[in-house]
Amino acid sequence: MLNFYRHWTTNFGRIAGHPAALSIVAIYAGLWVWFSPGTFEWNAVATLLVWMMTLFIQRSNRRDSLAVQAKLDELLRSHAEARGELAALDDEEPEEIEKHREEERLKAS
């Protein structure tokens, strides 16, 4: 069950960074205006703007993370002594990456 939760949250983060997520917020706003125009006031606009900014930030963070990963993958491929398993580390869940980093720190000490 815990493994399902970990994968679900990671996948949800990926989905939130996808451009289609913005269209979901736009559809939600349209439905809100259509079904309940009396409640669509400044607070509603502020709520929708916060949601959209959250999606923009998520997308920006995901883009930056993927760019850094691509650069690191290239460095690992080009370095003769690099270990190959590190290139696939970004496919792991965050908890597994933290565990790997802690193991490496203990080895270095």
- Show pLDDT as tens, one digit a residue, over the chain (109 residues): 556 666 777 777 777 777 888 888 889 999 999 998 888 899 999 999 999 998 888 888 888 888 888 888 788 778 877 777 777 777 777 777 888 888 888 887 7
User: What angle (nearest 5°) sits at the alpha carbon of residue 80, between those of residues 74 and 82?
Assistant: 65
Helices (H), the chain: 2-16, 20-35, 42-78, 94-108
CB-based contact 100:89 (threshold 8 Å):
yes
Output the pTM of the full model.
Answer: 0.65
CA proximity to 20, closest of 58, 70, 64: 58
For the chain, give every domain's residue range: 2-108
